[in-house]
Amino acid sequence: MQKDVLFDRLKIKQGSVFNFDELYKSLFRWFEAYGYEFHEDEYKEVQSEKGKQIEILWTADRIFDAYVKFVIETNFFITGLVDVEVEQEGLKIKTNKATIEFRISAYLVKDYKGEWEKTGILRSLREIWDKILFRKRMEQYEDVLYEEVNNYMDEIKAFLNLYHF
């Protein structure tokens, strides 16, 4: 199994008023819509005087073909999460306020089943396959994952009402 990293810990951070439950659901639905299998690897929550501190680690993967799998890892760091009430169009709405930081990594996993690692000969053939014969296709796969990660980041920014870059 070989990992080709496309993004490593891209950061989005903002102090904002947002609905944490809706953000969580929205991002979960994004992964579903794009066909990713979603795993919540860790969820830590600590209450302090300044509000909740939450750390969440997600891994989402999608088998692209028999040789390549896409993986997107998301780390949330939420500090000072408190419940607030805001007025919108004359209605009071319960929501949250916090500083939220996302760290996003994305990579391609080649030979995710480990079939080409069984013997030294197959491993050598895989290296030739990857470097010469499969190189153009890998670039196309990287383009697809690049676009998906950018769409994912746009989803986060839109939810937090940030500008698109």
Reported as a single tens digit per residue, the pLDDT across 2-20 is: 788 999 999 999 998 889 9
Residue 52: strand, helix, or coil: strand
123, part of any domain: yes
Q: Decide if 60 contacts 105 (C-beta within 8 A).
A: no
The domain in which residue 23 lies consists of 2-159
Range ranked top by mean pLDDT from 70-74, 81-85, 160-164: 70-74
Flag whether 148 is in a domain. Answer: yes
Evaluate if residue 81 carries a pLDDT over 70. yes
Q: At what angle do helices 135-159 and 20-33 cross, to 10 degrees?
A: 160
User: What average pLDDT does range 107-121 have in this prediction?
Assistant: 77
Predicted TM-score of the model (pTM): 0.85
Mean of pLDDT over the chain: 88
Q: What pLDDT shows up at residue 111?
A: 79
108, containing H or E segment: strand 91-110
- The DSSP bridge pattern shows strands 2-18 and 37-48 to be unpaired
Please indicate whether residue 80 or residue 163 has the higher confidence score (pLDDT).
Answer: 80
Query: How many structural domains compose the chain?
Result: 1
Considering the domain boundaries, does residue 164 fall inside one? no
pLDDT for 164 equals 34
Assign 120 a pLDDT band (cuts: 50, 70, 90).
low
89 lies in some domain: yes
Q: How confident is the model at residue 57 (pLDDT cuts 50, 70, 90)?
A: very high
* Calpha distance 44→34 (Å, rounded): 27
What is the pLDDT at residue 135? 79
Structural domain includes residue 165: no
Tell me the CB-side half-sphere exposure of residue 64, using CA atoms within 13 A.
21
CA distance 105 to 118: 28
Q: Please report whether residue 140 resides in a domain.
A: yes
